[in-house]
Amino acid sequence: MTQDDDRQISRRGFLARAAGGLAVAMTAGRVWAPQDVVQAADRGSDGPAPRITRVARPLDAETPVEAFASYLTPNERFFVRSHFGPPAPGQIDEGTWRLRVGGLVERPLTLRLQDLRQFEEITITAVVQCSGNGRAFHRPRAPGVQWERGAVGNARWTGVRLADVLSRAGLQASGRHVHLQGADRPLVDKIPLFVRSIPVEKARHRDTILAYRMNGEPLPMLHGAPLRLIAPGWMADACLKWLTDITVGDEEAKGYYMETAYRYPNRPVQPGEVLKPDEMKPVEAMGVKSLIVSPSQGAMLVRGQALIQGVAWTGEGKVAKVEVSTDDGRTWQSAKLVGEDTPYAWRQWEHGWHASEAGPCAILSRAMDDRGNVQPLTSPWNPGGFLWNGVDRVRVHVKG
Amino acid sequence: MVIAIAISTVGFASLWAGPLPAQSDSVAQEGALLVQTRCVICHSEDLVTQQRLSRAHWHATVTKMMHWGAPLSASEQKVLVEYLSSRYPPDASKEKNE
């Protein structure tokens, strides 16, 4: 690793992380706290807001779909999900932050951020998506943050393999689940901690990483500074932020956020049905999905040639095809996949369209992957409103 | 003297306010106040106001919030559930992107 990398890992302080890549403006004696950064970003006076706030506190904010015209989603626009908000600064200060690896291992570890240098550094480009992205589209409505289209992003994640860290600790044969906990804490003791676990097979996958950089910058505060898990191809309920504890166990983690939340039915259900937690399984891999980035919702187009553009991704496997309809689903044409093609990242696509008829028009996009999965018109309803991957729809108007 | 003014002010105000508020109006007022003073201890109002749930579901949600520390008495829970059920019932719209 270069000296510059050393500096980035070991000496960039809390403020740099809090700013998340934005220039840090400091007045005498006043330090920008993460909430200040968020409020500045949401101010719409100089153009479209970087994020659309769904819940102000703790912050849940999604990306306007127009921003996905950029292959990599910039850090300050990347969606933010919090159960409790970021941890108190003292909890993630580089001087005191430690990653503890324990449980069913031969050699428990306590690592400082600079200790991660002993492991091979890798970078992967991967889509990270909230399991509740699109929840607002389920009918009947499910409880929870009513995300629409933008609780997703594509970024370059740099870090070390979780497999290498687990090897150093020496996984015991009885270890079947890797439990994850971060430094974020609820306001009230009665609220359960956000603790989840992933099966050891996913934990030991060569592409599952402990990430400390996002798009080349130290992992920003809102995105899990100083370290988060990236489980590529899986929903972000596995991608724990502000990571502090990795504990190997022989069972799934206990607690609300693993046993009750982030689960979906293991059988078909009727909309509105009430299920018990043991009739549900943890949300893991993403489904195949696409978004129309351009034109925007409500756009006014002139008659003639138009370019429809978007992105598409899937969980396991790769995007095989994207189709577009400009007559609200009556007929479909193949779009062209363009740009980079790497595992776990999204594909960009485009489709030339001759908008010949004036009037309102609904454009749909539908992706399919190489495992035969295709976006449905509406995703199967589930009590948590997870895993929405219905075809995307944008309503535009063609001027006469 | 102060008490007399206070009583006359209250009397005057109720004359101007029109007829005594109906049950649903006071539930609306008290319900809104509970959201603004109890729910917001942990999270902003928008998390509440974006939900669209059945009465049973609102009841279950408020019960869960009380288990997690929301300071509500049993009678306040009743008022809050009544308010939320009528103000934020299940969605009428069938289609996304409406």
pLDDT tens track for B70-96: 999 999 999 999 999 999 999 765 554
pLDDT of A42: 44
pLDDT of residue A38: 35
Is the ipTM here above 0.90?
no
Q: In chain B, helix, strand, coil percent, each to 5?
A: 65, 0, 35
Q: What is the mean pLDDT of chain B?
A: 81
Chain A and chain B share a number of CB contacts under 8 A equal to 58
The residue of A35, A39, A54, A57 whose CB has the most chain B CBs within 10 angstroms, and thus the best one to mutate to test that interface, is A57
Q: Of residues A207 and B5, which shows the higher confidence score?
A: A207
Q: Which residues contact A156 (CB under 8 A, 6 or more apart)?
A: A72, A123, A124, A125, A213, A214, A215, A216
- CA–CA gap between residue A230 and residue A214 (Å, rounded): 11
Domain segments of chain A as ranges? 3-282, 289-399
Contacts of B61 in chain A (CB under 8 A): 143
> Per the structure block, which two tokens stand in for B73?
């008495």
CATH number of the domain where residue B34 is located: 1.10.760.10
Out of A58, A143, A395, name the one closest to residue B43 (CB).
A58
pLDDT at position B31 over 90: yes
Residue with token string 């109890």: B38
Kind of pairing between the strands at A333-334 and A319-325: antiparallel
Cα A84 vs. chain centroid, distance in angstroms? 17
- Chain A residues in contact with B88 by the CB 8 A cut-off are none
One-letter amino acid at B73 equals: S
**CA of B97: which chain A residue's CA is closest?**
A393
Look at residue B93 in the predicted model and tell me its pLDDT.
57
CB–CB contact B53 A56 (8 Å): no
Residues of A in contact with B52 (CB under 8 A): 140-141
User: At A317, which amino acid appears?
Assistant: G
pLDDT of residue A36: 33
Residue of chain B whose Cα is closest to the Cα of A149: B97
Geometric angle at alpha carbon A370, from A366 and A372, rounded to 5°:
70
Over range B11-24, report the average pLDDT: 46
Chain A residues at the B interface, defined by Cβ less than 8 Å, are 53-58, 60, 136-137, 139-141, 143, 145-146, 186-192, 297, 390, 393-395
**The CATH number of the domain covering residues in A3-282:** 3.90.420.10
In this structure, are residues A266 and A279 in contact, taking their beta carbons and an 8 Å threshold? yes
| Domain presence at residue B13 | no
Which pLDDT score, from 0 to 100, does residue A26 have? Answer: 35
Q: Output the CA torsion sign for B58, B64, B65, B70.
A: positive
- List of chain A residues whose C-beta atoms are within 8 Å of the C-beta of residue B47: 55, 60, 145
In a domain, B8, yes or no: no
Question: What is the enclosing helix (H) or strand (E) of A379?
Answer: none
Q: Which CATH class is domain A289-399?
A: mainly beta
A160 three-class SS? strand
With a threshold of 0.90, does the pTM exceed it? no
d(CA A83, CA A59): 8
3-state secondary structure of A354: strand
Residue B5 lies in a domain: no
Whether residue A68 contacts residue A313, with contact meaning beta carbons closer than 8 Å, is answered with no
* Overall domain count for chain B: 1
Q: Quick check: bond before A360 cis, omega within 30?
A: no
Pick from A57, A143, A393: CB nearest B44: A57
Fill in the amino acid letter for A51.
R
pLDDT tens digits for A333-371?
A: 999 999 999 999 999 999 999 999 999 999 999 999 999
- Phi then psi for A66, rounded to 5 degrees? -55, -30
Whether a cis peptide bond, with omega within 30° of 0, leads into A58 is: yes
Q: Is residue A159 within 8 Å of residue B39, measured between CB atoms?
A: no
Asked if residue B15 belongs to a domain, the reply is no
Contact A141 B51 (CB under 8 A): yes
Q: Which pLDDT value is given to residue B2?
A: 47
Q: Are A310 and A396 in contact (CB under 8 A)?
A: no
- Check residue A45 and give its pLDDT: 53
- The predicted pLDDT at position A70 comes to 97
For helices B74-87 and B23-37, the axis angle rounded to 10 degrees is 100
Mean pLDDT split into 10-residue runs, chain A, 400 residues: 41 47 35 34 61 98 98 98 93 92 98 97 98 97 97 98 98 98 95 98 98 98 98 98 98 96 94 89 97 97 96 96 97 98 98 96 98 97 97 96
Q: Which domain holds residue B58?
A: 23-87
